[in-house]
Amino acid sequence: MGRARLRDLGLSTGTLPTGPLNAITDVAGVEVGHATLIRDEPAIVRSGVTMIWPSRDIWTDYCFAGFHSFNGNGEMTGTIWLAEQGLLSAPIGITCTHCVGVVRDAICSYAAREGIRQAFHLPVVAETHDGWLSDAETFPVTAAMAHAALDQAAAGPVAEGAVGGGTGMICHEFKGGIGTSSRLVETGGEQFTVGALVQANYGSRDLLRVDGVPVGREIPHAEVPGHRIPMADGGSIIVILATDAPLLPIQCQRLARRATTGLAWVGGIGANGSGDIFLAFSTGNRVRNNAPHADVRMLGAERMTPLFRAAAEATEEAILNALTAAETMTGFKGRTLYALPLDRLQQVMTRYRPKPL
Amino acid sequence: MGRARLRDLGLSTGTLPTGPLNAITDVAGVEVGHATLIRDEPAIVRSGVTMIWPSRDIWTDYCFAGFHSFNGNGEMTGTIWLAEQGLLSAPIGITCTHCVGVVRDAICSYAAREGIRQAFHLPVVAETHDGWLSDAETFPVTAAMAHAALDQAAAGPVAEGAVGGGTGMICHEFKGGIGTSSRLVETGGEQFTVGALVQANYGSRDLLRVDGVPVGREIPHAEVPGHRIPMADGGSIIVILATDAPLLPIQCQRLARRATTGLAWVGGIGANGSGDIFLAFSTGNRVRNNAPHADVRMLGAERMTPLFRAAAEATEEAILNALTAAETMTGFKGRTLYALPLDRLQQVMTRYRPKPL
Amino acid sequence: MGRARLRDLGLSTGTLPTGPLNAITDVAGVEVGHATLIRDEPAIVRSGVTMIWPSRDIWTDYCFAGFHSFNGNGEMTGTIWLAEQGLLSAPIGITCTHCVGVVRDAICSYAAREGIRQAFHLPVVAETHDGWLSDAETFPVTAAMAHAALDQAAAGPVAEGAVGGGTGMICHEFKGGIGTSSRLVETGGEQFTVGALVQANYGSRDLLRVDGVPVGREIPHAEVPGHRIPMADGGSIIVILATDAPLLPIQCQRLARRATTGLAWVGGIGANGSGDIFLAFSTGNRVRNNAPHADVRMLGAERMTPLFRAAAEATEEAILNALTAAETMTGFKGRTLYALPLDRLQQVMTRYRPKPL
Amino acid sequence: MGRARLRDLGLSTGTLPTGPLNAITDVAGVEVGHATLIRDEPAIVRSGVTMIWPSRDIWTDYCFAGFHSFNGNGEMTGTIWLAEQGLLSAPIGITCTHCVGVVRDAICSYAAREGIRQAFHLPVVAETHDGWLSDAETFPVTAAMAHAALDQAAAGPVAEGAVGGGTGMICHEFKGGIGTSSRLVETGGEQFTVGALVQANYGSRDLLRVDGVPVGREIPHAEVPGHRIPMADGGSIIVILATDAPLLPIQCQRLARRATTGLAWVGGIGANGSGDIFLAFSTGNRVRNNAPHADVRMLGAERMTPLFRAAAEATEEAILNALTAAETMTGFKGRTLYALPLDRLQQVMTRYRPKPL
């Protein structure tokens, strides 16, 4: 399950309480599955796919969803349908850039295999590029892997770091990957959960901050070498936000935009080559496929701000969890990408603690 | 009330039935008011403002709404708020280009005068340019006129042609102005109304069609002179769509886009200089200001298509009603703009009737 | 090459002159290739893929492009990158809905095979659904077919009707498919070409019009049976517009929106289940990959309107060419879809000719 | 000119060098003017308007521009035209919410007065709400004030704090207002300037950070009372970014989105009631009105990232400059809003300095 989570290290960010798992799966019904591919023959591959079920019955009971592209140097399929209808109608895939297509079609073939009675599907599949650690031009991810990730997905704790779609990722010039976090929100007397899952593959070392502390500047390349992602060469982050608050599509769009804030807090600025694309869905309303109408609930606009804060905090901590979980990896062309050293992280954080009054 | 409506001439377009008034006011609660300014001293002015109340209690019981800009060479205030929240929270104004600001602020001051207890308002005010027939640089519309249009607005038949914001308008090189129409829709066993109101100030003569018949080409400038709007000089159409179908904001956006279809049927192509901007609102859901949450109803996606057809048809006929209602007008610099000759319209339509089998 | 083109029948629409081929390939550099799959074993398949090269060197010399989703019940990959950068950097694919992914990845693998030195690609692949005539759940299109369509693409006349991605399509309840057309435009003393290629799979019979004449109503189901596409079941149209006019990305977006007008003229209203998605690219500026800067030319805004008209006319005629080219086809489950009867089309058009004055 | 600038206090943020003035006016040609209204009779008013000239000849030599709405609970006029054409064609106004209209029309009347030969204008005017310190319902700003701000605008240092449109503003529950900053960027061997000007009227105390240090939490309400802006009641930030880098409209949109990052670094999360709306313009290309075409230069995509960082840093420091400049103010209903105490700011920053290794 990765080396450690941020809170295992005695560190944390934000002010809102986390859910019991501090994971996207704190939102009831959400399940996550990974298929991880680490092999050296016939080619060196460090890749995979991660699947997120908003709910196992998503094929027939849609969720409202919305997306935001902070910097669109990447792919997320299904967004034209999301922009039109605001409905999510299939599980969500995250994988490597060259594998978006096979994973997208695999969701369709999975539905066909399961006997889902709809003529077609417009699934959401997003990507970040793993070509530095993995021989991406072997197009390694298969439909079978995508199906396995869908089958094996589960509620409960979520594996983080170099797993699933996050296997070959790089974050702030340390080893990156999958991370997750959640927040509990009280607004207007009701309690809701906001969860985030990220596939983090972006960022400059010198911009990395943890709770405002410039950790990246304090751990320079002279100490821990890092792969600096060339601007045009990729680097990206996909953020999936889930909530049980009853939101309309337009409100999901609002929530998705707040991943920008959490990303900024860690040090993401949407570099040119980055595909920083965010999706938020709500399980608080379900719309049955082909229903003549749906009675839905809309959280009052004036109650949204705590959710926005939760989305920012959960995104921030999910990225940090990806960094603390991921282990040093050697891959394509003998390249080694180093993990964020946890002892050094703790030292730096201690040094920046305020002096007593 | 204008010279004639299209159906008074024995003509019609589309296949869906109209509402009882064949006007946007067929949607229960909608009220329309005009303030018209036609004067020759101290300057020659042919201008005004038209106000549309989605409902008199719109200040506190918001409607969902969405907009679409087919060609954005124009202004519609309030769209950033609409894009964010999908809520319409004030009456809608349509006026001349130079008067957008005064009308916008006048809606705020009207609210203040009425004791509406909200800190501020973000009203929707749109415009088309009347500078060919009116001395626009006198900035003729006043807050008092805007207030009068709000006060005098009423349900029932709507005056069309050269009234209110439509006073100085030009359409397909004939006299244009305000027009309205409506359609009744049956979908999934329920009946809904879709109404349109346009301020039509766009278009080339040679593209004008009535129910597919190339009326514009058949009535050339040699016969009826027309003012050809230079591309960069304006020309625009504002379309306001209303419905009692219970739509979400994202569905209102969809409906608004269908004004494009009706506009195309008459011959509008979104010329470069044109501000072709459309707004659709639904009275089928009301959201009380500051309510902690709202229970709303969403028409099933599969039931939307008849509404789309209705929006296209109502927009088409509203434009044609503006043309048949508006009378020849002489204005600024002694310019005369001729009305579409109704007898010639009928002759052309007769000539194009299909031969018997 | 299909049964006939509209102009072969002595019919035409619009007023602008066509290019020499009356095809998207009138824009210099553009090449089109089809791979068509018609087989009855082991499953009945009527499917394929169509590829459009803006230019063979598109991998390294990008074009500006923009898109518009009139009704987004469909997929077009690559749009998030297009929205961000306005650059088209790979050939464009159009295929069946279940095959978007394989075609998308196939464009990436084609680039890898050709030794294109870029880390990754974000190609544009769009779709319409052929599940009524074809056993879509067999996922019939392969990477090899996509590669073949890329290899075999050529300048010159373009095959129309039931070919490539258009093989199994339905249009206004007649047999649909691929169609193309072009227009020559003179604006500000320069001449430009606008070409359109459509994959037409949408529409109600009763809305079909040819040059304003209600052809669909005149050829009812009692005379020629048709498959009425259920609202939620698909139906879609993809429109690709090409021009050599030097446009910026934002201007390409404008051009793309005008496909809506041409579609409306034929009778498309963006039904709920339809993916009506349009892309426009300009070969009038080329931007070299990784160039530190580019000197580009921008057509003045005031010169855009003739291009808008050309885009509408070319889209309209491309759809009609798809209808006149496509032949009656029998496919999945023994279903037969009838072609638009050309003799009847001509009869109806004759009946609606205006009577002499 | 305000109490102090951040750097006067020995503090700074970011890593890029500032321009000579550390102001938006470091971009050659940009001029800023304020008209400030502080009076107690007949009503208590703390309001005004700030005008930004991208260049004095903007009426005829347009700039490319783009905008982003991070949270659209506010107004920015002119955005529909910006989205369509990407052109800025008039000076930009920022004022109070109730005064958007009068300032918008005043820009039009200023053009008319100056004899600008264009039929109409679609100016950009944005707002934040000052109703806590000012009797907003008196609609205090006049066309004459707007004209004065246009006339008096100048290059050189920019007054900050409670001036112009920023007079009555509140930021992170301290006194807010106008702030500005700039950054110099080297990319691909060329040097460019990015400047920001903000009207800051948003934010929770507990989220305020300076260079990552949680200053807001360290100066609680018990120490310095603050006005907590209710969610639904306003709070907003307008950010205007200027650069001399040669950008296309789509690239200006990208730049505008980066204000989100700088805002996040200070602690802005786009609360529900906030109008967080950003505009970026480039003086590096000029497009002459009505020119048949324009030869323009486009910075290569791969060279954009330093500009993005500069936009984030300049936005961050502009907000902090607004806070350090603004003085404690008493206004409407006797309410007092306290300035950020500069000595306490310095103390907190010192306490959070890292301990030596």
**Closest residue in chain A to residue D232, using alpha carbons only:** A302
Tell me the chain C residues in contact with residue D254 when contact means C-beta distances shorter than 8 Å: 84
Q: Which of B55, B236, B244, B282 is catalytic?
A: B236
Predicted complex: ipTM over 0.90 = yes
DSSP string, C326-352: PPPEE-GGG-EEPPPPHHHHHHHHHHT
Determine, for residues D213 and A209 on separate chains, whether the beta-carbon distance falls below 8 Å: no
Separation between Cα atoms, residue D38 and residue C224, nearest integer Å? 77
Tell me the chain A residues in contact with residue B81 when contact means C-beta distances shorter than 8 Å: none
Q: Are D84 and D198 in contact (CB under 8 A)?
A: no
Which residues contact residue D150 at a Cβ distance below 8 angstroms, ignoring those fewer than 6 apart? D33, D51, D53, D91, D107, D110
Determine, for residues B294 and A303 on separate chains, whether the beta-carbon distance falls below 8 Å: no
Q: Are D124 and D83 in contact (CB under 8 A)?
A: no
How many Cβ atoms sit within 10 Å of the Cβ of residue D156?
A: 9
Q: How far is CA D69 from the centre of its chain?
A: 14
- Residue B284's Cβ-side half-sphere holds a number of Cα atoms within 13 Å equal to 23
The count of residues in chain B is 357
**pLDDT(D303) > 70:** yes
Q: What does the pLDDT read at residue A227?
A: 84
Question: Global pTM?
Answer: 0.98
Q: Determine the distance in angstroms separating the CA of D183 from the nearest CA of chain B, rounded to an integer.
A: 29
Judged by a CB distance cut-off of 8 A, whether residue C8 touches chain A is: no
Tell me the chain A residues in contact with residue D265 when contact means C-beta distances shorter than 8 Å: 264-265
**Closest residue in chain A to residue C124, using alpha carbons only:** A75
Structure tokens belonging to residue A83: 């922009």
DSSP string, A265-278: HHT----TT-EEEE
Residue D206 is given by DSSP the state G
Which residues contact residue B155 at a Cβ distance below 8 angstroms, ignoring those fewer than 6 apart? B25, B29, B30, B31
Please choose, from the candidates C166, C217, C187, the residue with its C-alpha nearest in 3D space to the C-alpha of residue C319. C166
Structure tokens belonging to residue B250: 């994202």
How many Cβ atoms sit within 10 Å of the Cβ of residue D304?
A: 24
Q: What does the pLDDT read at residue C292?
A: 93
How many Cβ atoms sit within 10 Å of the Cβ of residue A143?
A: 18
Q: How many CB pairs under 8 A join A and D?
A: 99
Q: Determine the distance in angstroms separating the CA of C74 from the nearest CA of chain A, rounded to an integer.
A: 6
Identify whether C9 is part of a domain: no
Separation between Cα atoms, residue A152 and residue D254, nearest integer Å? 39
**pLDDT(D61) > 80:** yes
Please choose, from the candidates A241, A261, A238, the residue with its C-alpha nearest in 3D space to the C-alpha of residue A316. A261
Which strands sit side by side in the sheet containing A31-39, from one edge to the other?
A: A31-39, A45-53, A92-96, A125-128
Structure tokens belonging to residue A52: 């997120």
- For residue B120, CA distances in Å to B84, B109, C197, D165, D167 come to 16, 10, 49, 16, 17
Structure tokens belonging to residue C282: 């300009």
Please choose, from the candidates D281, D248, D211, D273, the residue with its C-alpha nearest in 3D space to the C-alpha of residue D24. D281
Q: Are C328 and C339 in contact (CB under 8 A)?
A: yes
Q: Are C183 and C194 in contact (CB under 8 A)?
A: yes
Chain A contact partners (≥3 CB pairs within 8 A):
B, C, D
**pLDDT(D240) > 90:** yes
Q: Are D112 and D144 in contact (CB under 8 A)?
A: no
Identify whether B233 is part of a domain: yes
Identify whether B2 is part of a domain: no
- Residue C190 CB burial class (10 angstroms; 0-12, 13-18, ≥19): middle
B12 is catalytic: no
Chain C contact partners (≥3 CB pairs within 8 A):
A, B, D
Tell me the chain B residues in contact with residue C15 when contact means C-beta distances shorter than 8 Å: 206
How many Cβ atoms sit within 10 Å of the Cβ of residue D186?
A: 12
pLDDT tens by residue, A30-71: 999 999 999 999 999 999 999 999 999 999 999 999 999 999
Structure tokens belonging to residue D27: 């971009």
Facing D209 at nearest CB: one of A212, A258, A355: A212
Judged by average pLDDT, the poorest of A202-216, C212-226, C260-274, D224-238 is D224-238
Determine which helix (DSSP H) or strand (DSSP E) holds C34, and give its type and residue range.
strand C31-39
How many Cβ atoms sit within 10 Å of the Cβ of residue D101?
A: 30
Separation between Cα atoms, residue A341 and residue A215, nearest integer Å? 11
Separation between Cα atoms, residue C170 and residue C132, nearest integer Å? 9
How many Cβ atoms sit within 10 Å of the Cβ of residue B156?
A: 9
The list of chain B residues with pLDDT below 70 reads 1, 230-234
pLDDT tens by residue, C54-105: 999 999 999 999 999 999 999 999 999 999 999 999 999 999 999 999 999 9
Identify whether B330 is part of a domain: yes
Structure tokens belonging to residue B198: 């346009």
Determine, for residues D72 and B78 on separate chains, whether the beta-carbon distance falls below 8 Å: no
Facing D119 at nearest CB: one of B71, B100, B129: B129
pLDDT tens by residue, D223-236: 999 887 765 556 89
Separation between Cα atoms, residue C38 and residue B298, nearest integer Å? 42
Q: What does the pLDDT read at residue B228?
A: 78
Separation between Cα atoms, residue A235 and residue A202, nearest integer Å? 4
Q: What does the pLDDT read at residue A357?
A: 79
Residues of C tagged active-site: 236, 274, 276
Separation between Cα atoms, residue D302 and residue D312, nearest integer Å? 18
Q: How far is CA A345 from the centre of its chain?
A: 22
In DSSP terms, A36 is beta-bridged to A48
Q: How far is CA A237 from the centre of its chain?
A: 7
Identify whether A22 is part of a domain: yes
Structure tokens belonging to residue B2: 């204008």
Pairing of the two strands D92-96 and D87-88: unpaired
Q: Are D61 and D23 in contact (CB under 8 A)?
A: no
Determine, for residues D295 and C300 on separate chains, whether the beta-carbon distance falls below 8 Å: no
Separation between Cα atoms, residue D305 and residue D308, nearest integer Å? 5
Terminal C-alpha separation, chain C: 40
Structure tokens belonging to residue C100: 């978007």
Q: Evaluate the omega torsion of the peptide bond into residue A292 and state whether it is cis, within 30 degrees of 0.
A: no
Determine which helix (DSSP H) or strand (DSSP E) holds A215, and give its type and residue range.
helix A215-218
Identify whether C156 is part of a domain: yes
Q: What angle do CA B243, B244, B246 make, to 5 degrees?
A: 105
Pairing of the two strands C329-330 and C336-337: antiparallel
Facing A80 at nearest CB: one of C69, C103, C125: C69
Identify whether C294 is part of a domain: no
Q: Which residue has the tokens 């009701």?
A: A190
Pairing of the two strands C31-39 and D92-96: unpaired
How many independent structural domains does chain D possess?
1
Determine, for residues A87 and B298 on separate chains, whether the beta-carbon distance falls below 8 Å: no
Q: What does the pLDDT read at residue A170?
A: 97
The parent domain of residue C51 ranges over: 15-288+301-352
In DSSP terms, D242 is beta-bridged to D195, D281
A201: domain CATH number is 3.60.70.12
Identify whether D276 is part of a domain: yes
- Helix/strand/coil for D247: coil
